[in-house]
């Protein structure tokens, strides 16, 4: 297909799709409601499968150079005792942490500046046998042959084209923040996640002497008590956890809070001339660290399908077929993994940890290796 593609959403999925489509010589335009590149957020981990997917486009080396690499994630008890370490396969890429805004800037810089227009909030969508027309809040519009919705978990495109509410509250809420590593003592160079009765706590080193942290605590949906939590409240909540968790929180000044929800993967990842990718189609709980990575896989596969077919319907059907199994598998695994890691009862926690510690390494490593493999 050599038609014009409109992408709504200038985040990881949308920018990676634009890069991939341009590689195949396809005309593409990205519209993003934020006023400028970059954006808010905290840290993100890019796994080997996403790095494999981006190899043909010259992006993989840029992420490696800009990121902080480690060979796996180590899980600890609240007292700091090792449970397991989930590692990448020998000979594979490492896991690379990077600030989400830095990743978006890196992807944006890989495109001609005219490819992306910022400050474009979609307020209307029309699609017929001739093409797609998008109306923006500023009164302008855009036309193309197909539309790709890459506008995230709260996708305006999905809301326009589907009446189905597919959000699921996972049963826990999350805080995220970034601090200077110079302000904390006792930090490890490893990626660490701590599991305990008060919740989970992750510590992920970033480049430029920064540390990304996150905390997940079981909660009711829209819980007023947790919504009003300050950094001091969170530090008190985790005060009995191993160092450097209490001191890290005491060094924090800003944090982002939201309940954890996912989106049950759409029954079909397309509607007429519109294709859905990334969180707009299948937002996951964050338990496997695959949200951005699967968005990247989506983008690369979507570009391949669009480039291969003159009929967009065939392209969309191929995309759905190629992505369906892996997306649904990750969605289910991530949901269940969250339930296991958010256990609160001491006896249940003890049994879980004991089982994991005595599980042959090759059993859980096989699952990780399959997860970290881009199958195209």
**221 Cβ contact list (under 8 Å, min separation 6):** 169, 259
**130 Cβ contact list (under 8 Å, min separation 6):** none
- What is the residue whose two structure tokens read 């990626």? 191
pLDDT on residue 2: 57
Distance CA 135, CA 40 (A): 25
- What is the residue whose two structure tokens read 């940890």? 353
Domain ranges of the chain: 5-166+262-371
End-to-end CA distance of the chain: 19
Distance CA 325, CA 113 (A): 35
- What is the residue whose two structure tokens read 């256990």? 343
Distance CA 130, CA 283 (A): 31
Q: Write the CA distances from 319 to 124, 131, 323, integer angstroms.
A: 25, 20, 6
The predicted model scores a pTM of 0.96
Give the SS3 label for residue 321: helix
* Pair of tokens at residue 281: 């189609």
- By DSSP bridging, strand 95-99 and strand 141-144 are unpaired
Distance CA 290, CA 73 (A): 14
**295 Cβ contact list (under 8 Å, min separation 6):** 11, 12, 13, 16, 150, 277, 278, 279
- Let me know the angle formed at the C-alpha of 182 by 180 and 184, rounded to the nearest 5 degrees: 85
- Give the DSSP letter of residue 280: H
Q: Are 5 and 21 spatial neighbours (Cβ–Cβ below 8 Å)?
A: yes
Distance CA 190, CA 284 (A): 24
Per-residue pLDDT of the chain (376 residues; tens, 9 = 90+): 557 999 999 999 999 999 999 999 999 999 999 998 876 678 999 999 999 999 999 999 999 999 999 999 999 999 999 999 989 988 889 999 999 999 999 999 999 989 999 999 999 999 999 999 999 999 999 999 999 999 999 999 999 998 677 899 999 999 999 999 888 888 999 999 999 999 999 999 999 999 999 999 999 999 999 999 999 999 999 999 999 999 999 999 899 999 999 999 999 999 999 999 999 999 999 999 999 999 999 999 999 999 999 999 999 999 999 999 999 999 999 999 999 999 999 999 999 999 999 988 887 777 788 899 997 7
Alpha helices of the chain — where are they, by DSSP H? 12-23, 48-54, 60-66, 100-109, 156-161, 224-227, 231-237, 245-250, 279-282, 291-308, 312-341, 346-357, 361-371
* CATH architecture of residue range(s) 5-166+262-371: 3-Layer(bba) Sandwich (3.50)
What backbone torsions phi and psi does residue 180 show, to the nearest 5 degrees? -75, 135
- Give the DSSP letter of residue 185: S
β-sheet with 199-206: strand ranges across: 82-87, 72-77, 191-196, 199-206, 210-218, 167-180, 256-263
Distance CA 43, CA 256 (A): 11
- What is the residue whose two structure tokens read 């307020």? 123
């Amino acid at each position: 297909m050599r038609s014009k593609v409109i992408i709504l959403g200038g985040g990881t999925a949308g920018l990676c799709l634009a890069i991939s489509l341009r590689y195949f010589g396809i005309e593409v335009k990205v519209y993003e409601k934020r006023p400028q590149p970059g954006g808010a957020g905290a840290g993100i981990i890019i796994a080997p499968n996403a790095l494999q997917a981006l190899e043909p486009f010259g992006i993989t080396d840029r992420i490696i150079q800009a990121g902080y690499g480690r060979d796996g994630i180590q899980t600890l008890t609240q007292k700091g005792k090792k449970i397991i370490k989930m590692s990448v396969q020998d000979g594979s890429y490492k896991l690379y942490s990077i600030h989400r805004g830095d990743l978006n800037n890196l992807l944006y810089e890989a495109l001609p500046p005219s490819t992306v227009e910022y400050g474009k909030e979609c307020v209307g969508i029309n699609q017929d046998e001739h093409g797609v027309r998008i109306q923006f809040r500023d009164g302008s519009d855009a036309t193309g042959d197909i539309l790709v919705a890459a506008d995230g978990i709260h996708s305006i495109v999905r809301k326009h084209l589907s009446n189905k509410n597919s959000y699921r509250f996972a049963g826990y809420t999350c805080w995220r923040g970034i601090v200077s590593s110079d302000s904390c003592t006792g930090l490890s160079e490893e990626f660490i996640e701590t599991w305990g009765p008060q919740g989970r706590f992750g510590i992920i080193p970033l480049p430029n002497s920064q540390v990304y942290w996150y905390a997940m605590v079981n909660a009711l949906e829209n819980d007023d008590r947790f919504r009003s939590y300050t950094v001091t409240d969170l530090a008190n909540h985790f005060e009995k956890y191993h160092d450097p968790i209490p001191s890290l929180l005491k060094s924090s000044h800003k944090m982002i809070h939201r309940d954890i929800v996912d989106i049950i993967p759409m029954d079909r990842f397309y509607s007429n001339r519109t294709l859905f990718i990334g969180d707009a189609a299948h937002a996951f709980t964050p338990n496997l660290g695959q949200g951005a990575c699967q968005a990247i896989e989506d983008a690369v596969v979507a570009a391949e399908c669009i480039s291969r077919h003159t009929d967009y319907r065939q392209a969309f059907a191929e995309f759905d077929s190629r992505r369906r199994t892996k997306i649904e598998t990750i969605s289910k695994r991530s949901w269940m993994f969250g339930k296991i890691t958010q256990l609160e009862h001491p006896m249940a926690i003890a049994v879980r940890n004991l089982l994991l510690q005595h599980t042959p390494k090759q059993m859980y490593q096989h699952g990780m290796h399959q997860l970290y493999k881009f199958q195209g």
